[in-house]
Amino acid sequence: MNTPLTQLPPALPEHVPETAFGIWFLRTPTWTLHVLERAMKDLERLIPERRASYPVVADVGCGWGRSLKKLHTRFAPQRLIGMDIDAAMIEAARGEAEAEGIAAEFIQCSSASMTLEDNSVDLLFCHQTFHHLIEQEEAIREFYRVLKPGGILLFAESTKRYIHSWIIRLLFRHPMEVQKTAGQYLALVRSAGFEVAPESISYPYLWWSREDLGLMERVFGIKPKAEREETLINLVARKPLA
C-alpha cells in the first residue's frame, strides 16, 4: 500500500517550475518511449556488476511517475521511493503507481535537501531532473549521502548545448545560468566522491536532442558531424565501498 505523502512547503527556491507545454509533454508517448525508455535501456547496459535486485530504489524528480513501473520491473526493489518538489506531480505519480499495482512511497522534497537517511538507498535514478535544479552542487552531495556504500546513481541529463538551443528556450523553462556541458556534469558527479568508469558513460545523440529534431538525417540523409558538442550524457556512478 502506498504510504502517506510527506509534506513540505510547496514553494521551495531550488527549482524552476516547468512551462505548461513541458508539463503536458511529460505525459506524452514521445516522452515515455523516446526519452525515458531509451535512457533507461542505455543506463542499464552501463551498470557495472549488475545485480538482479536493488532492495531500495529512489527516483529523484519522479514527475508523473512514468518511470516507477520501469524501475520496479528492471530492479525488483523491496522499497520504491518517488521524490519530487511539486506536490501535484507527487499526487499524479501516486495515481500512476496505484494504477500499475505497484507499492511505492512518496516524498515531497528538494533534491538539495532530501529527507532520506544516510546510506539508505541502493540505486538512485535521476533522469532529466538535474537541469531544473539551481543548487546542483548541494544536490549531488545529497545523492552521495543517501546512497549506500557500493550503491549506484543512474544519471541521465541534457547538456547546456541542448538546454540553450532556441527550441528548448521557446517551449520550456530552466535556470539557464547553471546549465553544464557533458564534461562539466561528469566532473560534478566525480567531485562529490563518486566513481565513474569510462565504460559507464554514454553520449547519445538522439533526434529529439538536435535543434533540427533530426530532420537533416531522417529526411535528407545528412549524417551529423562526428566532432560536436554533446547534447546528452548518460552515466552510472558508484559510491565507493570505503
Instruction: Look at residue 122 and tell me if it is in a domain.
Output: yes
CATH for 141: 3.40.50.150
Q: What is the pLDDT of residue 9?
A: 40
What DSSP string runs through the chain? Answer: -PPPPBP--S--TTBPPPPHHHHHHTTSHHIIIIIIIHHHHHHHHH-TT--S--SEEEEET-TTSHHHHHHHHHH--SEEEEEES-HHHHHHHHHHHHHHT---EEEE-BTTB--SPTT-EEEEEEES-GGGBS-HHHHHHHHHHHEEEEEEEEEEEE-HHHHTSHHHHHH----GGG---HHHHHHHHHHTT-B--GGGEE----GGGSTTTTHHHHTT--PPPSS---SEEEEEEE----
Q: What is the pLDDT of residue 206?
A: 78
Instruction: Look at residue 212 and tell me if it is in a domain.
Output: yes
Question: pLDDT (tens digit, 9 = 90+) per residue, 49-68?
Answer: 999 999 999 999 999 999 99
Band of pLDDT at residue 30, cut at 50, 70 and 90? confident
pLDDT > 70 fraction of the chain, expressed in percent and rounded: 88
Band of pLDDT at residue 217, cut at 50, 70 and 90? low
Is the pLDDT reported for residue 5 higher than 60? no
Instruction: Look at residue 168 and tell me if it is in a domain.
Output: yes
Question: pLDDT (tens digit, 9 = 90+) per residue, 174-192?
Answer: 888 999 999 999 999 999 9
Instruction: Look at residue 15 and tell me if it is in a domain.
Output: no
Instruction: Look at residue 8 and tell me if it is in a domain.
Output: no
> For 130-142, what is the mean pLDDT?
94
Q: What is the pLDDT of residue 11?
A: 41
What is the total count of domains within the chain?
Answer: 1
The predicted model scores a pTM of 0.88
> For 200-218, what is the mean pLDDT?
76
Question: pLDDT (tens digit, 9 = 90+) per residue, 89-121?
Answer: 999 999 999 999 999 999 999 999 999 999 999
Q: What is the pLDDT of residue 220?
A: 63
Instruction: Look at residue 95 and tell me if it is in a domain.
Output: yes
Domain housing 117:
20-238
Which stretch of 124-133, 135-144, 196-205, 215-224 has the lowest confidence by average pLDDT?
215-224
Instruction: Look at residue 12 and tell me if it is in a domain.
Output: no
Instruction: Look at residue 5 and tell me if it is in a domain.
Output: no
Mean pLDDT, the chain, integer: 88
